[in-house]
Amino acid sequence: MLQKPILLPIPKKMSFGDKCVANEVFSNEITFESNSDLPSEGYLLVVNAEGIKITYADEAGKFYARQTLQQLQMQYQNNDCPILEIEDYPDIAIRGVSLDVSRDRIPPFEDLLKFVDLLASWKINTFSLYFEHVFAYKNHEIFWKNASPFTAEDIKKLDNYCKERFIDLIPAQETLGHLARILCHEPYRQLAECPEGFSAMWQLRESDPFSLCPTDPKSLEFMEELLDELLPNFSSEYFLCGGDETADIGIGRSKDICDKIGKDKVYADYFREISRIAKKHGKKIIIYADMVKNNSTACNYLPKDIILAEWGYERNYPFAKNAKTFIDSDLRFFFLSSNNNFYTLGGRTYRWRGNIANAVKSAIELNALGVFNHEFGDFGHWTQFSFSLPGFAYGAAVSWNFKDNENMDIASALDLFAYEKCENAADLIMDIGKIYLHTSESNDADSLFYLFYRGMFGAENVSKAELADRLAKAEEDLISCTYRLQKLRNCPERVRQEIAAALQYISFAIHTAKELVQRDDVVKVCELPFEIQKDLTEEFCSVIDSLLKIRDKYYLIGGRHEAILYLKRYWETCFNQIKFPKKYLSDKL
């Protein structure tokens, strides 16, 4: 029986002959032929007794045919290859991945290049690094000096590397909100909307400002200086300039003007100026759409050449419904999904799969410009990279060919292409990413595992008895996953370490929750007796040690201290009778 290949993404059309050809065929010279009648980025790949022939629409199609060929070669290097013919092209023109490198987890540059190679092999054609404060701006060392920042030379090298792989590297720099890591320093604080600070759940300190004041000319002067230095390093025609979650605008220094002309007008006028700056460098701006969605007045204030990025990370997020206002206002738009790894160590498999499929399906139906799949590192970015890959791979697959990849067995492809041929690694990682369902809310967003730092456990209107039953089921899954990890063969060291750390954390979270639900007179973890807190914090220290061991081995030092401060905040919320160990704050910056 012929062994059919595993391909990621699964192509549009793939047919097989009833015979095989020797694997030496991959060593033969390839015949190439251009055909402009094929769809953009499309190709035909034929492997038979006469050799290998690639017919391609354009240079990108030629490159993607080679990526498919390499996946075939990987599988048939020791076996004969079936005679086959593949016809393939993408559903969506812009298929993107965005990686957060500002929230405390920065990969070494060589690892970033390897990640680009992996994305290219999955036919991703757009990539962005999410920046808040991690570019080495010449005159502003004070806010990036401990961040292991990217230099202009790094970006130019990465941009060229991406172009060679038909990936458009888009600059992504926040320009209004999410600037606490800059505005907490002097002299930048005086540029903030709320210099005294702004309280939001994602802020590490309430005393930190969040947004620039959009009505202060000095804010724009500052941002123009940054962008004039940053943007020329990118060859992309796009610039993702943030603008999301700016809930503080209109309550601080811009209040009088917002009250007079309206917050929507102030917001639009600010990004009109950001667009002007970007146009100097030949770029069109993309802004996150959450501050203007379902608001026709706000949308109509925006210049028509601004592109909106509608983001939502729930399985059933109403992408199509929210896009109606953009369509009515004649504004172009992207959809942004997520691999749903923010404030989690074990992933949310059910959630990311539904969210990504929903975004891609909606993008195809509404002819959106494209889809970006994001990973954000809010609250310390302690997610292990092995748990990041399934969502990225699935997003790549469905944005290329939704129909054939929506329900694909992505685990087999991940084992082969992402986990170095470690059989069953992907199934294990994705099953760990389902444990949270036992204790999640109805929208499968929150759970006691991932929000334990709030000091409370359990869903609303759920008794402690029911929570105890849920915890028992979660513990059963944990035991099973721990056993399966022990049985993995040929598992790369890093993958094994990262799985073990996730399981260790989940075990700690279950233990903590069990201590809580066993006591009728206790609602919060911080109300547990001292001796119980002492035992739990010793276990927490073991978790932290494992996380830091991985972090120090595989990531740059930038952001390490701040990531630990988030753990400290979790600790102090839950275990208020025992001080956070000084050793974690003093050993490294």
* Secondary structure (H, E, C), 24-58: HHHHCCCEEEECCCCCCCCEEEEEECCEEEEEECC
**Are 128 and 372 within 8 A, CB to CB?**
yes
- Residue 1 in any domain: the answer is no
Distance in angstroms (rounded) separating the CA atoms of residues 68 and 273: 44
Residue 210, burial from CB neighbour count under 10 angstroms (0-12, 13-18, 19+)? buried
Question: Which pair of tokens denotes residue 44?
Answer: 């035909």
Do residues 71 and 155 both lie within one domain?
no
Rounded CA separation 376/339 (Å):
9
* Co-location of 252 and 325 in the same domain: yes
Residue found under tokens 């974690």: 584
Point out the domain boundary residue: 380, 408, 436: 408
Shared-domain flag, residues 209 and 282: yes
The partner residues of 29 in beta bridges, in order of sequence, read none
In a domain, 3, yes or no: no
Query: In which region does residue 322 sit, left (phi positive, over 0), alpha (psi from -120 to 50) or beta (all else)?
Result: alpha
Domain count, the chain: 3
Of the candidates 135, 128, 216, 245, the one whose C-alpha atom is nearest the C-alpha of residue 182 is 135
Point out the domain boundary residue: 88, 123, 138.
88
**Residue 199 domain flag:** yes
Report yes or no on 419 lying in a domain: no
End-to-end CA, the chain: 58
Cα separation of 405 and 316, whole Å? 19
Element containing residue 570 per DSSP (H, E): helix 560-574
Distance of CA 458 to the CA centre of its chain: 26
Q: Cα separation of 266 and 119, whole Å?
A: 38
3-state DSSP assignment of residue 578: coil
* In a shared domain, residues 225 and 319: yes
CATH for 174: 3.20.20.80
Residue 53 and residue 99 in one domain: no
Q: What does the alpha-carbon distance between residue 463 and residue 452 come to, in Å, rounded to a whole number?
A: 17
pLDDT at 517: 86
C-alpha to C-alpha distances, 429 to 223, 353, 387, 388, 551, nearest whole angstrom: 41, 14, 6, 10, 19
- Closest by CA to 56, choosing from 40, 34, 77, 75, is 34
**How far, in Å, CA of 522 to CA of 532, rounded?**
12
The reply to whether 432 and 385 lie within a common domain is no
Residue 253 near residue 211 (C-beta atoms within 8 A): no
**Is residue 189 located within the same domain as residue 239?**
yes
pLDDT at res. 437 = 86
Nearest to 497 by CA among 438, 555, 537: 555
CA distance 128 to 124: 11
Question: Exposure of 443 by Cβ count < 10 A (0-12 exposed, 13-18 middle, 19+ buried)?
Answer: exposed
Sheet of 31-34: strands edge to edge?
13-21, 81-88, 43-48, 51-56, 31-34
Q: Say if CB 382 and CB 494 are below 8 A apart.
A: no
Within a domain: 352: yes
Q: Does 418 reside within a domain?
A: no
Residue 436: closest CA among 393, 488, 394, 478: 478
So what's the pLDDT on residue 446? 55
Which residues, in sequence order, are bridge partners of residue 131? 173
In a domain, 218, yes or no: yes
Distance CA 447, CA 459 (A): 8
Please check whether residue 360 is in contact with residue 395, taking contact to mean a CB–CB distance below 8 angstroms. Answer: yes
Out of 349, 376, 408, a domain closes at: 408
φ, ψ of residue 270 in degrees (nearest 5): -65, -45
User: CA 171 to CA 189: how far, in whole Å?
Assistant: 24
Q: In terms of Cα–Cα distance, which of 394, 347, 339 is closest to 502?
A: 347
- Other residues' Cβ atoms within 10 Å of the Cβ of residue 536: 20
Same domain, 61 and 191: no
- Does residue 449 sit in the same domain as residue 521? yes
Tell me, yes or no, whether 60 and 179 share the same domain: no
* 391 and 529, same domain (yes or no): no
In the chain, the amino acid numbered 396 is A
Residue 50 lies in a domain: yes
Please, are residues 104 and 560 in contact by the beta-carbon 8 Å criterion?
yes
- 25 Cβ contact list (under 8 Å, min separation 6): 47, 51, 52, 81
Cα–Cα separations (whole angstroms), residue 578 to 239, 519, 531: 46, 20, 10
Q: Are strands 238-240 and 284-288 parallel, antiparallel or unpaired?
A: parallel
- Looking at the structure, tell me whether residues 483 and 341 fall in a common domain: no
Q: Report the distance separating Cα 183 and Cα 226, nearest Å.
A: 14
Task: Give the CATH number for residue 26.
Answer: 3.30.379.10
Q: How far apart are CA 179 and CA 531, in angstroms?
A: 41
Closest CA to 577 of 526, 519, 511, 539: 526
Contact 502, 432 (CB under 8 A): yes
Domain that residue 251 falls in: 94-408
Chunked into runs of 10 residues, the chain (589 residues) has average pLDDT values of 86 94 93 98 96 98 98 92 97 98 95 98 98 98 97 98 98 98 97 96 91 98 98 98 97 98 98 98 98 97 96 95 97 97 88 97 98 92 94 98 97 97 97 89 59 50 82 96 97 98 93 89 88 96 97 96 91 91 76
